[in-house]
Amino acid sequence: MSSDTKRIYNFSSGPAVLPVPVLQRAREEMLSFRGSGMSIMEISHRSSLFDEVLMAAEGGVRRLMNLPDNYNVLFLQGGAAFQFSMIPLNFLGANGTADYVVTGIWGEKAVKEAGRCGRVNIIYDGKDDGYKRAPRPGEINVSANSGYVHYTSNETIDGVEFNYDIDGGGVPMICDASSNILSKPIDIGRYSMIYAGAQKNLGPSGVTVVIINDELLEHVPKNQHSLLDYRNIASSRSMANTPNTWGIYLVGLVCEWLEQQGGVEAIAKVNDEKARRLYDAIDNSDGFYSGRAEPGSRSRMNITFHLPSVELDEAFCSESERRGMSGLRGHRSVGGIRASIYNAFPLEGVDALVDLMRDFAAENR
């Protein structure tokens, strides 16, 4: 690779690293998309060419997640955070209540938006414990009269991940899976809706994938605004207005790449191994590095830890940049270090970070 195409190890939490073959393919197809003489960004979303792109992206998500026919795959805009409003605007109602499980800062933001629409019942709140763990299954009790239960399967900032699917006990389960979608197999039948901003495991920012079942669609209010109406978006196949054509195209390519890697089961093994190597480096450092999340709730996607002082955190980040790594600075609200290692992040990059951790601890202990 020449210097202007040289890649570094990008630990960014999102937008995040994309598979190199996906970027190469997009580059190859840039000037004349499949012989059309136009780029994907210049063709009509109503063209048959774009229809193929949409079908490829939808089909990829369907196959990878093993979705039955009663689940719809939608491509929306506004980011995952827009769903924090769109969900209560559709499923809460002024007289309704919804249960929220809060294990980090994104869940907290979801609660804030839902509270503008109706009654929010927080059935687990990890704030007082500093968002260090997910609740154990017995700790959450879903209210029988709740319109839905909302939770965040992986809290990107805090590095807290559920290692089980919450049982909604018949109440529709809605999951923000922005930072761990397609990273491991899940039991889709337990969920009425799963959503994710694409910019971590699925593609570029600007497109949000929403997987929603037919039953939940029936709860959309009759006179809903067209672009807030999941049912309308489903029946128009995400083309109630002009969709993010470029983003959907890349989601399709990322899915194709993931299928070539052996799908979700195969990538889950790689993800487990990547996370294990980093947590081992933390745990075997004689306390030089401290993991943020409790061991049973450690994220496999966002490994959060800190050094003995803020100054050392900073020096560690500078040294990582000198060694060709980027994006390791923790979120400004929690500080420390965060290594985001989504599906497309290579194992060699994890080993490079483990080497840095070993060397840095030896020199600064």
Interaction mask 145-174, ligand PMP, x per CB under 6 A: -------x---x------------------
224: its two tokens? 């809903």
Of the pair 146, 179, the CB lying nearest ligand PMP is at 179
Q: In terms of CB distance, is 179 or 343 closer to ligand PMP? A: 179
Q: How far is the CB of 358 from ligand PMP (least distance, A)?
A: 29
Q: Show the tokens assigned to 229.
A: 């109406």
> Which positions from 251 through 290 interact with ligand PMP, judged by CB under 6 A?
none
Clarify whether 359 is annotated catalytic.
no
The answer to whether residue 179 forms part of the interface with ligand PMP (CB under 6 A) is yes
For helices 245-260 and 48-65, angle between their N-to-C axes, nearest 10 degrees: 40
Q: Which of 205, 204, 126, 182 is nearest to 159 (CA)?
A: 126
Could you tell me which residues are beta bridge partners of residue 325? Answer: 9
Inter-residue contact 143 to 112 (CB < 8 Å): no
**Closest listed residue to residue 353, CA positions, set 292, 289, 295:** 289
- What is residue 125's three-state secondary structure? strand
Residues 67-86 that bind ligand PMP (CB under 6 A): 79-81
**Rounded to the nearest whole angstrom, what is the least distance from the CB of residue 217 to ligand PMP in the complex?**
22
Question: Could you tell me how many residues of this chain bind ligand PMP (CB under 6 A)?
Answer: 11
Residues 84 to 143 in contact with ligand PMP, rule: CB under 6 A: 106
Residue nearest to ligand PMP (CB): 79
CA dist 290 → 166, 295, 341, 352 (Å):
28, 11, 18, 19
Candidate ranges 85-93, 175-183, 222-230, 268-276; the one touching ligand PMP (CB under 6 A): 175-183
| Calpha distance 240→246 (Å, rounded) | 17
CA distance 251 to 180: 15
What are φ and ψ of residue 290, in 5° steps?
-120, 125
321: exposed, middle or buried (C-beta count within 10 Å: 0-12, 13-18, 19+)?
middle
106 is annotated as an active-site residue: yes
Name residue, tokens 């929220």: 100
- The distance of closest approach from Cβ of residue 171 to ligand PMP in the complex, given in angstroms and rounded to an integer, is 21
Binding mask 35-74 for ligand PMP (x = CB under 6 A): ----------------------------------------
CA quadruple 329, 330, 332, 334: dihedral, nearest 10: -150
147, 172, 197, 247: which one binds ligand PMP (CB under 6 A):
197
Distance CA 210, CA 71 (A): 10
- Does 176 bind ligand PMP (CB under 6 A)? Our answer is yes
Which of the residues 200, 229, 257, 313 is marked catalytic? 200
CA distance 162 to 292: 15
- Asked whether position 14 contacts ligand PMP by CB under 6 A, the answer is yes
Q: How far is the CB of 308 from ligand PMP (least distance, A)?
A: 28
**Is 90 or 178 the residue whose CB approaches ligand PMP more closely?**
178
109 is known as an active-site residue: no
Report the nearest approach of ligand PMP to the CB of residue 81 (Å): 3
| Residue 209: strand pairing partners | 75, 196
Q: Which residue has the tokens 């922005």?
A: 178
Distances (CA, A) of 133 to 57, 154, 227, 335: 34, 11, 36, 17
Nearer to ligand PMP, 158 or 313 (CB): 158
Closer of 191 and 288 to ligand PMP (Cβ) = 191
Nearest-approach distance from CB 180 to ligand PMP, in angstroms: 8
- Any idea which residues carry the catalytic annotation? 106, 176, 200
**Positions in the binding site for ligand PMP (CB under 6 A):** 14, 79-81, 106, 152, 156, 176, 178-179, 197
